[in-house]
Copies of this chain bind each other. A is one copy, B any other.
């Protein structure tokens, strides 16, 4: 599916010549996408056939297939090799943020645990009451968004960013409810406490967090969000976007689950959120 992933896997097994080609891909990527097989070969000091074989090895049909695949993943996948924005000019900063956000989405997509998502969706759709927890500005936004999305499908949900309230709510919850907690770092000790309490009360819990973290360990279902180091601690920016996308995925799936009668399209569901007022003037219910 994605060349750079394949390249990573094969890396060890490549020969010297092939490694030289790989290096060019990684270092002078701009050259590589635009070069012909001959140019690429001569830059790597190998013969064109070697390049062809290299492409085949990476799972492509031919050199041109390789170039297409390369160009495709490149736009998003490669940018993380250039971590810093070029300058503080408005345009550069904008491009940097957009790219990083797209990249975060790309990485999220690649690392999604579909089975965990399905389990979570099942529980959410079946719950009598949903409690969404998150603190610290970023995760509290996520908890609020969860409420913003799910109440529209007729689900009963509340959210809280207050640690004490979270504990009390967890204590009030029942086994037919569900408790969803978000933590970017996975180290929100208070959330862990709420989850632990819920476990004692047999209330199912869903964590949206880093896998392997204390929060993940305390939850009955973990939907992992594992963005590579660097994207994580120092970049709430892109992490936040990834979480939001995950939320959208969860909500859409829940919507399909709880409103199966809304025939084939999500559009129908969304149309329900639009109200007509002032004659033809369409107004979004939920600006």
Which residues of chain A (130-186) have a CB below 8 Å from chain B?
A: 134-139, 141, 144-145, 148, 183-185
CB distance from A93 to the nearest CB of B (A): 5
Type the 1/0 row for A84-128, where 1 means its CB is closer than 8 Å to any CB of B: 110010110111011001100110110010100110010000000
Bound complex: CA A111 to CA B17 (Å): 44
Kindly identify, within residues 28 to 57 of chain A, every residue whose CB is under 8 Å from any CB belonging to chain B: 33-34, 36
18 pairs of residues in contact across A and B, judged by CB atoms under 8 Å: A69-B71, A75-B76, A76-B102, A93-B252, A93-B253, A94-B249, A98-B105, A105-B105, A135-B287, A136-B286, A138-B286, A141-B144, A141-B145, A185-B284, A187-B284, A234-B270, A236-B273, A241-B244
Docked-complex contact A101 and B93, CB < 8 angstroms? no
Instruction: Tell me how far the C-beta of A105 lies from the nearest C-beta in chain B, rounded to whole angstroms.
Output: 5
For the complex, is A19 an interface residue (Cβ under 8 Å from B)?
A: no
**Identity of the chain B residue whose Cβ is nearest the Cβ of A144 in the assembled complex:** B141
Q: Which of A8-16, A60-68, A194-202 contacts B (4 or more CB under 8 A)?
A: A60-68
**Chain A: interface size category:** 35 or more
List, in ascending order, chain B residues with CB within 8 A of A285's CB: 136
A115 closest partner in B (C-beta): B90
Chain A binding site: helix, strand, loop or mixed by DSSP? helix
Contact A236 B286 (CB under 8 A): yes
Bound Cα distance A241, B138 (Å): 14
Q: Which chain B residue has the least Cβ–Cβ distance from A88?
A: B256
Q: Give CA–CA (A282, B185) in the complex, Å.
A: 9
Taking CB atoms and an 8 Å cut-off, the chain A residues in 231-287 that contact chain B are 233-237, 240-241, 244-245, 248-249, 252-253, 256, 265-267, 270-271, 273-274, 281-287
In the complex, which of the residues A73, A90, A138, A282 has the most CB atoms of chain B within 10 Å of its own CB atom?
A: A90
| Chain B residues positioned under 8 Å from A69 (CB to CB) | 71
A273 contact set on B, CB distance < 8 A: 236
State the Cβ distance, A206 to closest chain B Cβ, in Å.
15
Give the Cβ gap from A151 to chain B, nearest Cβ, in Å.
9
Q: Judging by beta carbons under 8 Å apart, are B101 and A284 in contact?
A: no
- The yes or no answer to A211 lying at the interface (CB within 8 A) is no
A287/B185 in contact, CB under 8 A: yes
